[in-house]
Structure 1
Amino acid sequence: MEELAEQGPLTEEQEAELAELQPKVAQQKQKKKEGDAERHRARKVAAAVLRSWRRWRSRGR
């Protein structure tokens, strides 16, 4: 966006293309954010399972 602003005013074609791309970019950002959140939750669950397993294992000795 900043690069476009430095180039001066957009043509009507460029404005139309930008308007078409903005929702797609927003959707991609949202999907990435959701994927990142899902991976974070999975790591937290894995860490909890590992802690539980280690506690169980230490009691067995």
Structure 2
Amino acid sequence: MRIVLDRPRCEGHGLCEEAAPQLMHLDDEGELVLHREEIDASDAAAASAAARVCPVAALRIA
């Protein structure tokens, strides 16, 4: 599985970072940075939660 970020859509709300800080963070400019795109089963729940809470649907799990 992998996390797919639609960068132009991301508005930097940070809800995804709160849901999955081990997978992503907002940098000093408010841009989302993925620690890694490929995720394993142990991170699947956190990645799904991050995608679910994004108010602009900038994240999806593929």
Question: TM over 0.5, yes or no?
Answer: no
| Structure number having the greater helix percentage | 1
**Which protein shows a greater Rg?**
1
TM value normalised by structure 2: 0.28
TM value normalised by structure 1: 0.28
| Structure number having the greater strand percentage | 2
